[in-house]
A = this chain, B = another copy of it.
């Protein structure tokens, strides 16, 4: 059977492999694990992918595909700089909250990815929205280094999302603090104070 509905076997494999790689990492998942998930024999995977690494790279490309467009779009909508920043921050937090696999794969690639893969990830996935964020940073906080400001904006959202499983055991935590909307709101509260008040003196 070539297609079921609209999705090819190849895509079916990728979609079922992504959660496995996200939760267990490259070395934590075997070809037989993936095959079992797709309900076929491990040997059949080699009909679609040259080897395990090729399957993994294809799964990455598939998981990261079209992830940047939403962010670029969010920041591109006209409005005051703070409105555009707010839309970016909300979209980032909301998107990460909706796709925990993407959040996990991103962290794994950051640690395990070699130079080639990191470069690909940076240039193919993040370059476009980051560029937009960079020019927004220049508008909004011209006194500081734009690259640092742009990363700091991402940090105020991403670090809360990434540390959520551990923060549960740190003092002062309660369930509200893990919600993407609350994280975005908190990040914007800090950023708004920061740039509106800060850069005018």
A148 touches B186 (CB 8 A): yes
Q: Is the interface of A mostly helix, strand, loop or mixed?
A: helix
Cβ of A91 to closest chain B Cβ, rounded Å = 18
Q: Which residues of B contact A190 (CB under 8 A)?
A: 144, 149, 152, 194
Q: Which residues of B contact A201 (CB under 8 A)?
A: 197
| A175-194 near B? 1/0 per residue, CB < 8 Å | 00100000100110110011
Q: Which residues of B contact A186 (CB under 8 A)?
A: 144-145, 148, 152
| A106-131 near B? 1/0 per residue, CB < 8 Å | 01101111000011011100110011
Q: Which residues of B contact A18 (CB under 8 A)?
A: none
Cβ of A71 to closest chain B Cβ, rounded Å = 13
Q: Which residues of B contact A78 (CB under 8 A)?
A: none
A35 within 8 A of B: no
Bound complex: CA of A201 vs CA of B159, how far in Å? 28
User: How many copies of the polypeptide does the oligomer hold?
Assistant: 2
Cβ of A135 to closest chain B Cβ, rounded Å = 10
A155 (CB) vs chain B CBs: closest residue: B159
Bound complex: CA of A160 vs CA of B149, how far in Å? 10
B160 touches A151 (CB 8 A): yes
A5 within 8 A of B: no
Bound complex: CA of A168 vs CA of B122, how far in Å? 9
B165 touches A155 (CB 8 A): no
A27 (CB) vs chain B CBs: closest residue: B27
B110 touches A169 (CB 8 A): no
A173 (CB) vs chain B CBs: closest residue: B147
Bound complex: CA of A118 vs CA of B167, how far in Å? 9
Offer 25 A-B interface pairs, CB within 8 angstroms, sorted by A: A25-B27, A25-B112, A110-B163, A113-B165, A118-B168, A118-B169, A122-B169, A130-B170, A131-B171, A134-B172, A144-B189, A144-B190, A145-B186, A148-B160, A148-B186, A151-B159, A151-B160, A152-B159, A152-B187, A152-B190, A154-B159, A155-B158, A159-B159, A194-B198, A197-B197
